[in-house]
Amino acid sequence: NAFLATDRGVLEVEDDRAGGEPVLRPSLVPSLLRVAAHNHDLGTTQVRLFETASVFDQHEGVHRERRLLGLVVDPPAGVDARDATAEGQAAFAFLRTVVDRIARIVGTDRVHVDPETTFAGCEPSAEIHFDGRAVGSIGVVDAKTAARFGHDRAVVAAEIELAPEGIAASLATWPPESVAETLPAFPAIDRDLTVLVEEAVRWADIEAAIDSNRPASLEATEFVTVFRGRNLPTGRKAVTLRLRFRGTDRTLRHEEIDPEIGTITASLGAGVGGEIRQ
């Protein structure tokens, strides 16, 4: 099974009724890929699917059962189908927004993905963390693996554990308590910044660099997208982030934000070796 971690084994079924499926499925991704390919055959150009079900595997004779949320998405419309890298990045960015939405629903304050931990069957891939806890994985399905399931374009998959671990604790207290907050009295100013960094630099590293000398009026830092491939130096990637500035006592002017952008630019340079792309 392409989506089975190398240190895990499948759980076989010793029953004649198992027929052509003598093992319990260790991942939701294969069935989602098959359903997505069937929808493509029927003429659907953009497929976005999810499933919740139990998966099974074993390690050194110890069986494990988990309940997962599986997701599979195609690239959004408007992406050049001849550029597999761009398609993968666009689909990854879209599914990342879905993961962020799930995090907000269950009351998670902080989400990040760790590319140092791989998702079997996917490349590139990353581990999903909610408030510092590993809860699942996300990645671009390996092209050869995707082709075996009938896909000739990039497709991105994710799995989030619902039980017994993962986001089980959050679901046990769901829905989270509603908290009323005073709406901001003054409008915000958003600025998008694209920074060129080494491939090994994580989103958490970028956030930490900004926070090391955080401007007073910086309200939020949001991930927008990441670009790899043509026109970039080898081993580098371009990360686009959105900076939101807001004053607490008045409406800020755009020229007041320029020095703070300079502070953030300097922090990114010192903290992660970032170079701003114009």
| Per-position DSSP letters for the chain, written without gaps between them | -TTS-TT-B-EE---GGGTT--EE-S-SHHHHHHHHHHHHHTT-S--EEEEEEEEEEEETTEEEEEEEEEEEEPPPTTS-TT-HHHHHHHHHHHHHHHHHHHHHHTT-S-EEEETTS--TTEEEEEEEEETTEEEEEEEEEPHHHHHHTT--S--EEEEEEEESSTTHHHHHTPSPPP---PPPSS--EEEEEEEEEETT--HHHHHHHHHTT--TTEEEEEEEEEE-STTS-TTEEEEEEEEEE--SSSPPPHHHHHHHHHHHHHHHHHHH--EEE-
> Kind and range of the H or E element at 196?
strand 189-198
- Which of the four pLDDT bands, split at 50, 70 and 90, describes residue 175? confident
- Which of the four pLDDT bands, split at 50, 70 and 90, describes residue 16? low
State pLDDT tens for residues 22-53: 788 999 999 999 999 999 999 998 899 999 99
Question: What domains lie within the chain, and their CATH numbers?
Answer: 11-172 (3.30.930.10), 189-277 (3.30.70.380)
Q: Which residues contact 56 (CB under 8 A, 6 or more apart)?
A: 11, 24, 25, 26, 63, 64, 65, 66
State pLDDT tens for residues 185-209: 999 999 999 999 998 898 889 999 9
Q: Are 96 and 127 contacting, i.e. CB atoms less than 8 angstroms apart?
A: no
* pLDDT higher than threshold 90 for residue 7: no
The model scores a pTM over 0.85: no
Phi, psi of 144 (to 5 degrees): -65, -40
State pLDDT tens for residues 109-152: 788 888 877 889 998 899 999 998 999 999 999 999 999 999 99
Q: Which residues contact 208 (CB under 8 A, 6 or more apart)?
A: 271
State pLDDT tens for residues 93-113: 899 999 999 998 888 878 888
Q: Coil, strand or helix: which one is 276?
A: strand
* pLDDT higher than threshold 80 for residue 163: yes
pLDDT at residue 15, rounded to an integer: 63
d(Cα 138, Cα 165) in Å, to the nearest integer? 17
Instruction: Label residue 101 exposed, middle or buried (CB < 10 Å: 0-12, 13-18, 19+).
Output: exposed
- Which of the four pLDDT bands, split at 50, 70 and 90, describes residue 227? confident
Mean pLDDT of the chain: 89
pLDDT at residue 178, rounded to an integer: 73
d(Cα 63, Cα 177) in Å, to the nearest integer? 36
pLDDT at residue 71, rounded to an integer: 97
Percent pLDDT > 70 in the chain is 97
> Kind and range of the H or E element at 122?
strand 122-130
Q: Worst-scoring range by mean pLDDT, 185-194, 209-218, 220-229, 264-273?
A: 220-229
The number of helix segments (H) and strand segments (E) in the chain equals 6, 12
Q: Rounded to the nearest 5 degrees, what angle is found at the Cα of 272, between the Cα atoms of 237 and 275?
A: 55
pLDDT: which is higher, 169 or 27? 27
